[in-house]
Amino acid sequence: MATRTAQVSRVSARNASFKGQAARGHVAVRPAAGKNVSAARFVTKCAAGGNVAEELGFKEMRKGIKEASEESLLTPRFYTTDFDEMEQMFSQEIQPNLDMAEFDACLLEFQEDYNQKHFVRNNDFKTAAAGIEDPSLRRIFIEFLERSCTAEFSGFLLYKELGRRLKKSSPVVAEIFTLMSRDEARHAGFLNKAMSDFGLALDLGFLTKNRNYTFFKPKFIFYATYLSEKIGYWRYISIYRHLQSNPEFQCYPIFQYFENWCQDESRHGDFFTALLKSQPELVSNNDLEAKLWSRFFCLSVYVTMYLNDHQRDEFYSAIGLDTTQFNMHVIVETNRTTARIFPNTLDVENPKFKEILDELVIVNGDLIALGKSDSPMAGLQKIPVVTKFATLLLQLFLMKPVESGTVDFEEQKALVF
């Protein structure tokens, strides 16, 4: 109980600071007090050739190849969809009124390939990784890189398959998907290389064949993928700008690549905006189902990020970020962007929204603890906790939504940092 009270009061303190910033219309991400990781102090036992996986508590498939983290509700998924339905949606034969002008413009953008020469590594990567000496921090870096790599690779697989399957029925849309899969392959490859700086990489070919694929109907792919691209943009750019302003936390060079990298994600999101616009019933203000699904996907994407990141405070404090402020900043900005196209979004700037998210973090912590418990009563004890978790989610979902989507917003000029 004492721990719980301490957690609540920490959360309240953060609430207070968030309220003031939200009232001014933006959320500045401030450096967290705490560790500054000094690079290249000494090479850890792991990096010096010990068994990295064993040292850090990971399982290895074979030497230097990490067994992928167990799949859960909060881990990145691989997706598949109804490709026949997708073909029909974008076939000009079946949909002669499909407005192709935006797709043509998107294709030209992707063909420019702005980041063709961006993802080139240098010698600093390995030195910097070796300089991150604390085993628990190395572990958390690997987890961050693995999570990001899996999410990027998931995009690569889905877009590649869509590019292949739509080639005949809609060559322009297919070509865009293929070029987006090019981008995601670069992102995933770059992250996997970064993992190997810490001594463990993923076998992406093995994952392709062995990971579960979640089936989503095309319309759910559009909502979910639009959001994951836009939230990806806001995460990358926020970390980049924060480290530009606070270079003392620049402990690993990958973050310096995030500025151009996030432009890829933004372009991917813009293409999904065009896809959604081409299916007006999915973003119509008069369609209750569209509004409910819009809110549902916003909720699941925001909550997943919030809970995941709050299990990894150590990572964010290592790069000088306060997890809560960083997350709320990303959620607020993603929600504002999303409001340009989704017919409903969540009222994330209402302080109640964050209050419930913070309660969810605590309940999720209780669930994780019960999951690890050997007690024969743990199963029973979980029931009220799961009920509480579901109730909080429902409360968030039922909060008065933001009516959105009809206004053509001017691009917001003010940057947040």
The residues binding Fe ion (CB under 5 A) are: 152, 155, 184, 187, 229, 265, 268
Smallest gap from Cβ 264 to Fe ion, in A, equals 6
How near is the Cβ of 45 to Fe ion at its closest, in Å? Answer: 34
Q: Cα(268)–Cα(356) distance, rounded to whole angstroms?
A: 31
- Cross-strand bridge partners of residue 403: 344
Give the C-alpha separation, 229 to 227, whole Å: 5
Nearest distance from C-beta of residue 130 to Fe ion, angstroms: 27
Strands 65-66 and 78-80: unpaired
What phi and psi, each to the nearest 5 degrees, are found at residue 154? -60, -45
Cβ proximity to Fe ion: between 187 and 219 the closer is 187
CB atoms within 10 A of CB 96: 7
Q: Shortest gap between Cβ of 296 and Fe ion (angstroms)?
A: 21
Taking the complex as a whole, the smallest distance from the CB of residue 103 to Fe ion amounts, in Å, to 17
Specify the residue, 53 or 274, whose C-beta has the smaller distance to Fe ion.
274
Q: Which is nearer to Fe ion, 146 or 229 (CB)?
A: 229
State how far the Cα of 187 lies from the Cα of 189, in Å rounded to an integer: 5
Question: Other C-beta atoms within 10 Å of 15: how many?
Answer: 15
Nearer Cβ to Fe ion (242/268)? 268
Q: Compare residues 235 and 268 and give the one whose CB is closer to Fe ion.
A: 268
Nearer CB in complex with Fe ion: 232/320 = 232
Which tokens hold the place of 247?
A: 């270079």
In angstroms, give the least distance from the CB of 268 to Fe ion: 4
When the beta carbons of 146 and 349 are compared against Fe ion, the nearer one is: 146
Q: How far apart are CA 382 and CA 404, in angstroms?
A: 38
**In the bound complex, what is the minimum distance in angstroms from residue 148's beta carbon to Fe ion?**
9
| CB-based contacts of 332-336 (< 8 A; 24+ apart in sequence) | 332/22, 332/27, 333/234, 333/238, 333/416, 334/227, 334/230, 334/231, 334/234, 334/301, 334/302, 335/298, 335/302, 335/402, 336/412
- The values of phi and psi at residue 65, to 5°, are -115, 120
